[in-house]
Structure 1
C-alpha cells in the first residue's frame, strides 16, 4: 500500500511540475510576440489556461494554441517544443518572422497551421518524429530561405500537407507509399524539380497540386495511372514530358490541369471518357494526333494554345501521319519529333520524303539520340525505300515486317543497342547493322542474317556502299524540292491574284477613288518601291514626307497613308487626343465609312533597313492576331522617322474613368459583377498573349511580356492588341506606362527587366483598384496610404479588414463579400514581392472564372481565337499566312532547335535589345 501511494504521489508531482513548466513556456512564447496577444501577459503566467486562444487539459497542460489572424508580429519561441501535450498550433495569417521552430518529437501534435506569415527560415528537423501529425499547413511564407522537403517519414497518419509558395527546392522523397491516410498535398509555386516519386502510385492521394514550379518537375506522368483515388490534379507549368498516361482507373478525377508542359503523343481515349471529368486544360504542350473531342459533361476544356494536333476538329489524322505517330510512340514520343512532325501532311514533315504520288519513300532519323524501339508500324509505309535509324540508342528487335516492304532499298540501323534475330532481306536491300553487339545473339538461328546478300555486307554498308546511294538520294531530293518550289510559286501567284480581289473590304469601303482612300492593291505601285517587301525604303520615306498618299495592302497588313490619318484626325487636333504618354500620343479618328479608330503616333530617329524589317515583321503578326478580349490592330503608317499604329477604338471609356471619374464624366459606377467580369476578361486576354509569347519568334523586347496593365490610353509598339471587355461594354484596359510607379513590380523598378510576372504584378494592382476604387498611386493621401499595394498588403493581414476598404459604390451581401475575399486573396498573390511567388495568368483565370459562372454571354463570339492557328508556332503561322496570301516568306532561313526552351531563339539578325530611339 505505501508503494502504491508513492506512485500516486509521484504522478501528482509530475503533473504539477509539468503544468508549472508549461506556464513558464507560455510566458516565453508571449514575450516573443509583438505585441503580446490580447488578454495575454508577458510578466505572469497566472491563470494562463484561460488566456484567449489557449486550451489546457485537466492537469493544466497546454493542448492547443490558436492565434490565427491576430495581427501578430515578432517570432515564435523555440521553447514551444517543450509543450509535450500540445496537439494543435494555429498561427496562420499573421506577420510572424524569424525561424520556424522545431516541433520535433511532439508525439501528440496533430495539426500545425503557420500559413500566411513572414518566416525567413525553417529549423532543421522541424517536423521530425511527429508520429500523430495529421495536418501540416504553412503555405504562403514567401520570405523563407530555400529549404528542402521536410522529414515526414514518421508521420504516417498525415492527411494534408500544404507547402505551396514556401521556397521549397530540390526533389521529393520517395516516402508516400507509407502514408496511407494522405489525401491532399499542395506544393505549388516552389522550385521543386526531378521526377515524381514512384511511391505516389501506392498512395491514397485525392488532391495533388504541384503546379507552377520555378524550373519544374521533369519525366513522365506514368505514376498517375495507379493513383486511383485522384480527384483534382494540378500539374501545370512544369516540364513533364512523354504521353498522358492511361487514367481509366482514376474514375473520381474531375479536375485535371496539364497545360504548359512538354507532353507529347495523342490524347488518350481513357481521359476523354472519364465519367466525372469536369475541367481539363491541355494547352501549351506538344500533344499530337487529332484534337480531342470531350463529351458535353466536361464543362470546361482548354486545348487551345501551342499543341501539335494533326487536325483541330477531332477528325482522324491522315493515314500516313497516323503511321508516323505510331512510329513516334516506339521512341516514346520525343519532343523534337512532335515539333518536327506537326501537321496533317506527311510529305511536309522534316526527315520525311515522298514521291510524286504523295507516298512516303524515305524516313531519315539518323543521329537523333532516339531511345525506345523500332515500331512495327514502319511496315505500314508500303512505298518506303530508305530508312535511316543509325547512331541512336534504340533497343529491342528489328521488326520482321520490314522484310515485307517490297520497295525497300536501304535499311541502316547501325550503332544502336538492338537485340534479337537478324532478319533476312532480299539481295536488293542494303542492310547496315554493325555496332549492335547483342544483335543475333538471343534466340533464333545465328546465321539468320547470312543467307542473303543484305547480311553479307551488313557490317560495312554504312561505311562504304552507302555513299553513292546517299548522293543519289540527295540528287533525287534536290530535284523534288526544285520541282515543288516551282509548282508552289505558280500556285501562290495565281492564288495571290484571286485573294487580292476578294479580301480587305473594311478600308476599301471608304468613299472616293483608290487614291482618295489611301489604299491601293499590292502591285499597283509599279516599280517605284524599293523598300522591304514593297514598303518604301528609309530614303524614300524621308523624301516623300506627307505626300506619300499611295498605299497598299501587303500580306493582309493594312498600310494607311499619313494624308488619310491627318484627314481622319483633323490634322491630329488636340481636341481628338485620347491620351498622352512616354511612347506617344493617341488620337481619336473616324474613316469615311464611319469606322472609329485610335491612332498612336510615335516619333523616333531613323533606324535603317534593319529596324524597318523588324517593325514590318512585328506588324505581320500583330495584324493577324484576333481574340475576343483583345483590341485589334487595324493598320499602320510609316512616315519618315515616325511610326503610327491604328487600333480599334474603345467607345465606352477606360476602366479608370469608370472607377475613379464616374461622377465627373457621367458614367455609372461599376457593379461588382461588372468589375469581376472585366478582371476575368483582362486575365483571359493576357493569358492568351503570354501563350503566344512562349513560341513567338518576335524579339523578346517586342513580346507581350512588355505589357503593363493599366487604364489609360498609353501603349508600346509591342502591343499584341489591347485588352477589352465584352459584352458588358468595351472598356479599354490598355498598357500602363512604365513610368507609372504604382504599377511597377519591384524587380522592374530596380532592374528594368520585363517578364510575364511583371504583367501579373500589374494585374494584381488592377484587382486592388477594382476592389477599393482607389488609384495605384494617390499622392493626395498620407504616405502610409498613398501607395495602394503597400497599404492593401497590410489590409490583407487581417481578413476582417477587407470589408472596410471595399469601394463605397459596391453594394455587397454575404455572397458578394465571399467573392471579394477571393479576388483580394488573388490580388495579394499576384503582387508578391518575388516573381516566382506570383501565379501565372492561367491561375487568375481559374480563380475568377467560377465567380462569374452565373453570368454567361448568350452567344460566344466566333472570333474568340480567329486570326491565328494556336496549334502551330508563330513562325509556322506567319509562313502559313504568307503562303496563303502569295507573299514571300520573310524568315525562310530560320533554323529551329530540336530541343526548345520555353522561348525559342530569335531569328538571326535581330538585335539583343532595342533602345528608346526605336520608338520604345
Structure 2
C-alpha cells in the first residue's frame, strides 16, 4: 500500500514543481513587460529559457531565486507580480531610473536582500515589507522623489542586519521595536524628515553603525540611550535638535567616529568621551556645550569643537570655581539650553540671572519662572556669599538641600510653586523662606493628615514654617481649592472652545487682515523662558533683568527669546547709523553683542491690532528656528514688545545681492564675475528647492527677492525672510508672502488673485536670473515705460537669440564659453517667468540646469579660486564632500557623505516648451 502511495505522490510533486516553474516564467515575463527598456538578453514576448536571462538565477526546479539588474539604465516600473516569486531570495535593482510605486514584497518568506537604491520611485506600496521573516538587508537609499511615508513595518524581520533608508522622504517617529532586532548592525536614516525622541529599545540593540543625521526638522530629546548601546562604532547624529548633556559613553569602547555637531547639546564634555580608546574622529561644534575646552589625546586624528559652544576656557584649563559651581547647579536642572545661552566666558558674574558684589562674589541667583525641571543642586552651598535665591514658579522636584541652611549670608529663599517634597532644612530666623505651592513639602511620609503644612512665607524659626491651623481650616481650604479649580477648568474649556470656533471660522487661507481672529492685543514686555533655536547667540540672547515682572508668552518650538532691552543695547537704541535696509514690513538694523557677534535685527512696523495674528507669528517662529540649510540665513531669535515684533537673523557681512549687482561702485565692491553670479543663482535655487520640499510636507516656505538674498564670506548665497505655509481650500499648499512694494517680482496670477504657490517663487527666481544677466533691477522707473519692467522687456528680447549679447551686463567678460552659459541661463529665466504657472519648471529643474554650468569651470589662476571661495578644480560632488568635511564630518571611514542641498530633478512639466518661440512671449 505504501509503495503505491509513494508512486502516486511522486508524479504529483513533479507536476506541482513544473506548474510553479511555469508560474515563475509567466511572472518574469510580466516583470520584463513593466520595464520601458528591456535589459539586454531579456524578452517581453516569450519566457523561454528565462533562467538563462542575464541577471536571473534559478534553482534546479527552475524557480527564480535572484534577480540582479543593478546599473543597467533601466526605466519603467517594477511589476507588482514580483510578489508571486515565492522562492525569491535576492532582488538587486539599484542605480537605475525605475519609477512608480515600490511594489509589495509581503510574505516572501525566503527573501533575504532587497536593493533598490538610487532610483526614481514615487511611492511605497502599503505594507510592502511586512512578513519578510528571512530579510537580512533592506537598502533603498537615494530615492528622493518618494512621497512622504512612515517607517516600514519590519517587526517580523528579526534577522535584519542592514537597513539603509537615507534620503527617501521618511517622516514621523521611529518605532520602539529594536529590542527584537538582535541581528541589526547598521541603520542609516540620514537626510529625511524623522523626528521625535530616540526609542528606549535602541539601548538593548547590537547596532554598530547608526546614521540619523541631517533630518529636515530633527530628532529631539536627550542622547542618554547611547550609553547602553555598547556595540556602537560609528555614530552620525549631527544636524538634529538633541538637547541635554553628552551621556556617559564609557561602555561604548568601540566608537571610532562620533558626529554630534549642530545640535543643542549642553553641559561639560564628559571624560568618558575624551578617553574612548578607539576614537579617531569627533565633531562637537555648533552646540551649547560648557565647561573647559576638551583636550583629546593625540590618537584622535580629527577634532572639531568650534562654533556656538560656550566653553569657559579655550586652553583646556579648569573653569573658575564659581563657574564650576554654576555648572553643577545647571546639571541638577538637566543643563537647560537657556543657561548655556547666558554663558559669559569664565565669569559667573556675567550671566544675566546672576548678581555679584564688588568682590565678584555671587550674591543673587534669579531663576524664577524659567520652566526649570530637575532638582535643586547641593552645589548652591558652595556660593558662600549668596544672599538671594529665587527658584519660584518652576517644575522642580526632590528636596531642598541641607547645604542651603548653612549659608550664613542667605536672606531670601523663594521655592514657591514647584513640586518639592521632603523635610524642610532648619533655616536661620533671618532667612525669609517662601514655599507655598509645594503640597508635599514638609510632610512626613505615610502620615495621613499629621504632617506639617507649609505657609506662604516664614521668618524662619526652628522648622522654617508655621503649624497647621487645624482640620476645620484644612477642610475649608480644601473646599475653596476645589471650587477655584472647577472655575479655572470651566474658564479654560470656554477659552479653548472660543479659539476653536474662531480658527474654524477664520483659519482658512485668504482671510482678510483685521478679522476678529487677529485682534488679540499682545501684552507689553519681553518674552522669557524660551530655549535656543539653531545658530544660537551667546550672552545677551536670552537676558532678562531680574526685576522684570512683565507678562510673558511661552511658545513651543525651541525658540530664542530676546528682551527689548538687549536689542536696544546692541543696536545703539536702533540708531539711524545702524540701519541696514528698509522694506515694506519694517527696518533692519545691524547689532553687535558684547563678544563681537554681529546680528541683523528686523523691527516690524508697530500696528495696534497687528498685521498678523499671534497664532500665526507663534507658528512661524516655532518652525523657522528649526530650519537649517547652508544656503539659508538662520533665524536666531525674536522679541515681542507691546505691538512690536522683532526678528533677529545672523548677519551676513558681504551685503545683499542687490548691492553687488546694482550698487557695487557705491559700496566699494568689485563687480561680480559670471562664475560668481551663476554660483549664487545655483545656491539660491538649492535653498528655495529645499524650502519647497518642506512646503510639500506642510512645514514652511518664503518669498524670494534680491534684497533678501545675502552673500556670505565665501560668496555662497543665503536666503532670508521666510513665510509660513498655508493650506489652500483646494488642498494644495500655498504660502504667505511678503512681496509688498516689490511689484517687479510678482507672477501674473499673484497680481490678479493674491494666491501664492511654489510656481510664484519660480517666477520670482526667473526675475533674479534676469537681473544677474543684465545688471538691471526688476523695476526701474527711471527708464522709459517699455523698458522699466524687466520681465516684459527681457522676454520680448528672447524672441531673437541674437538680442541676448546686447543686453548682458557690461561688467561681464563675455568670452565664447561664458556666452554659451549666458544663453542657457537666459532660456531658463524665460521658462521660469512663463505667464502660465504650469509652463514653469520646478526649482529642481533650475538646479539641474545651473549645476553643470558651475561644475564645468576651471579657474585661470590660484587667485581666482580664492576669490570665489569655491575650489573650482573639484567636481560638484567633490565640492559637496569637501564642504561637509570642513564642517566636521568625516568622509574617510568607509562612508559616502551627502550634502544637505541634494536636489530632486523633476522632469519638465506638461506644456513646458523645449525652446522659445514667438508664441511663448505673451
Tell me the TM-score normalized by structure 2.
0.57
CA contact (8 A) 1:55 1:65 kept: yes
Give 3-state SS (helix, strand or coil) of 2:196's partner. coil
**Does the C-alpha gap of structure 1 residues 182 and 124 become closer, same or farther in structure 2, counting only changes over 3 Å?**
same
- 1-structure distance, mates of 2:275, 2:195: 31
**Does the C-alpha gap of structure 1 residues 310 and 644 become closer, same or farther in structure 2, counting only changes over 3 Å?**
farther
**Does the C-alpha gap of structure 1 residues 169 and 847 become closer, same or farther in structure 2, counting only changes over 3 Å?**
same
Aligned counterpart, 2:478: none
- 2-structure distance, mates of 1:351, 1:305: 24
| Residue in structure 2 matching 1:290, options 284, 292, 313 | 292
Aligned counterpart, 2:461: 452
Aligned counterpart, 1:355: 357
CA contact (8 A) 1:370 1:392 kept: yes
Deviations 1:682-708 (A, max 9, x none): 99xx9xxxxxxxxxxxx9989996349
1:251 counterpart = 2:250:
no
How far residue 441 of structure 1 moved from its aligned partner, in angstroms, is 2.4
How far residue 298 of structure 1 moved from its aligned partner, in angstroms, is 1.3
- 1-structure distance, mates of 2:122, 2:228: 37
Give 3-state SS (helix, strand or coil) of 1:19's partner. helix
How far residue 51 of structure 1 moved from its aligned partner, in angstroms, is 0.5
| Residue in structure 1 matching 2:115, options 110, 113, 118 | 113
**Does the C-alpha gap of structure 1 residues 655 and 20 become closer, same or farther in structure 2, counting only changes over 3 Å?**
same
**Does the C-alpha gap of structure 1 residues 116 and 534 become closer, same or farther in structure 2, counting only changes over 3 Å?**
closer
**Does the C-alpha gap of structure 1 residues 780 and 47 become closer, same or farther in structure 2, counting only changes over 3 Å?**
same
Structure 1 window deviating more from structure 2 (840-849 vs 434-443): it is 840-849
| Residue in structure 1 matching 2:334, options 326, 332, 335 | 332
| Residue in structure 1 matching 2:15, options 8, 13, 16 | 13
Aligned counterpart, 1:842: 884
| Residue in structure 2 matching 1:403, options 402, 405, 408 | 405
Aligned counterpart, 1:760: none
1:706 counterpart = 2:728:
no
How far residue 780 of structure 1 moved from its aligned partner, in angstroms, is 8.3
Aligned counterpart, 2:73: 71
**Does the C-alpha gap of structure 1 residues 225 and 109 become closer, same or farther in structure 2, counting only changes over 3 Å?**
same
- 1-structure distance, mates of 2:188, 2:79: 27
Once the two structures are superposed, the pairs formed by residues 527-606 of structure 1 within 5 Å of their partners are 532=576
How far residue 823 of structure 1 moved from its aligned partner, in angstroms, is 5.4
CA RMSD of aligned residues (A): 5.3
**Does the C-alpha gap of structure 1 residues 438 and 39 become closer, same or farther in structure 2, counting only changes over 3 Å?**
same
- 2-structure distance, mates of 1:210, 1:396: 35
CA contact (8 A) 2:858 2:872 kept: no
How far residue 842 of structure 1 moved from its aligned partner, in angstroms, is 3.1
How far residue 410 of structure 1 moved from its aligned partner, in angstroms, is 0.7
- 1-structure distance, mates of 2:576, 2:157: 68
Aligned counterpart, 1:199: 201
How far residue 31 of structure 1 moved from its aligned partner, in angstroms, is 0.4
CA contact (8 A) 2:78 2:98 kept: yes
Aligned counterpart, 1:138: 140
Aligned counterpart, 2:156: 154
- 1-structure distance, mates of 2:182, 2:21: 35
Aligned counterpart, 1:869: none
**Does the C-alpha gap of structure 1 residues 68 and 774 become closer, same or farther in structure 2, counting only changes over 3 Å?**
farther
**Does the C-alpha gap of structure 1 residues 137 and 14 become closer, same or farther in structure 2, counting only changes over 3 Å?**
same
- 2-structure distance, mates of 1:286, 1:754: 40
1:425 counterpart = 2:432:
no
**Does the C-alpha gap of structure 1 residues 380 and 296 become closer, same or farther in structure 2, counting only changes over 3 Å?**
same
Once the two structures are superposed, the pairs formed by residues 662-701 of structure 1 within 5 Å of their partners are none
Aligned counterpart, 2:127: 125
How far residue 277 of structure 1 moved from its aligned partner, in angstroms, is 1.1
- 2-structure distance, mates of 1:25, 1:380: 77
**Does the C-alpha gap of structure 1 residues 108 and 96 become closer, same or farther in structure 2, counting only changes over 3 Å?**
same
| Residue in structure 1 matching 2:29, options 17, 27, 30 | 27
Aligned counterpart, 1:645: 667
Give 3-state SS (helix, strand or coil) of 2:218's partner. coil
**Does the C-alpha gap of structure 1 residues 123 and 794 become closer, same or farther in structure 2, counting only changes over 3 Å?**
farther
- 1-structure distance, mates of 2:120, 2:351: 53
User: Which one has more relative contact order, counting CA pairs under 8 Å at least 6 apart?
Assistant: 1
**Does the C-alpha gap of structure 1 residues 476 and 780 become closer, same or farther in structure 2, counting only changes over 3 Å?**
closer
CA contact (8 A) 1:706 1:754 kept: no
Aligned counterpart, 2:239: 237
Deviations 1:321-361 (A, max 9, x none): 11111101000001111112342211121111111111111
Task: Give structure 1 stretches of 5+ with no counterpart.
Answer: 461-473, 479-530, 539-554, 558-616, 624-631, 661-677, 687-698, 719-737, 740-744, 756-772, 797-801, 811-818, 831-838, 852-920
CA contact (8 A) 2:220 2:243 kept: yes
Aligned counterpart, 2:588: none
CA contact (8 A) 2:652 2:712 kept: no
CA contact (8 A) 2:453 2:467 kept: no
- 1-structure distance, mates of 2:35, 2:417: 68
How far residue 182 of structure 1 moved from its aligned partner, in angstroms, is 0.7
Aligned counterpart, 2:443: 441
